Structure 1
């Protein structure tokens, strides 16, 4: 499933997001650049495209894990 292009993104960021959404690998430097410069909505759209491609057939199912480490003492 392809994503609609984010027209307000610089072309270098758009190409990295497209590659990631299509299953390609990105470098740590590219990931850091996306973290610093890409809008959250664009990152979320790319992540959703990866999820839909990777787990085809379960598009309507998403699970989350809540990790809790409960301290049973009053000593912190």
Structure 2
């Protein structure tokens, strides 16, 4: 699980988002299944999911990288 601190460039406020693994099952035509890990990103304080267009950027996060037009990554924490 990762926690990323974002700075809102309009308000200069910081907010934290966290990654959560949401497991799923994928079945094929022969009945075999595979467990897949879907990574979701949520605001740490409200537990609301971030818009999906931010997920790929957060999955490959780098310091000082913009997330959309409003946020910039200022800290990355991993377990």
- TM normalised by structure 2 equals 0.22
The structure with the larger Rg is 1
Considering fraction of residues, name the structure with more strand. 2
Considering fraction of residues, name the structure with more helix. 1
